Amino acid sequence: MKSNTKAIFEEYCKSVLVYEEPVHSVEVVVSGKYFTELYARVMEHGYTCHSLISTEDDTHIAMFSIASSTDFGKLFDDMIGDEFNEDDSADWWKHQD
């Protein structure tokens, strides 16, 4: 892990654990109010969040890893949705006679 990327994690998080094996990943404990900013910053360095657990006191435990090209494909599939063309209920006005 690059030192500047690790510094970003350390800047926002209460705890940072870096795992090199079996897959490079980073486990963090971060306050909920900082999570979005942290995620935006580390995305610029190629990281994605694979799991997130939130507690009642607004603490998040998150697992990050280097994003692969399939991760980006999944992201856009989730944004667009698989049923994008299947639901034509928004076109109800086209079916009027």
Question: In the prediction, which pLDDT does 46 show?
Answer: 92
The encoded tokens of residue 80 equal: 């667009």
Phi first, then psi: what are they for 26, rounded to 5°? -130, 125
Question: In the prediction, which pLDDT does 90 show?
Answer: 62
Angle value at C-alpha 31, between 79 and 39, nearest 5 degrees: 35
Minimum mean pLDDT range among 3-12, 29-38, 88-97: 88-97
The more confidently predicted of residues 36 and 1 is 36
- Residue 18: alpha-carbon gap to chain centroid: 17
Q: Report the percentage of the chain scoring pLDDT > 90.
A: 60
The more confidently predicted of residues 8 and 77 is 8
d(CA 25, CA 50): 10
Q: Is the pLDDT of residue 57 over 60?
A: yes
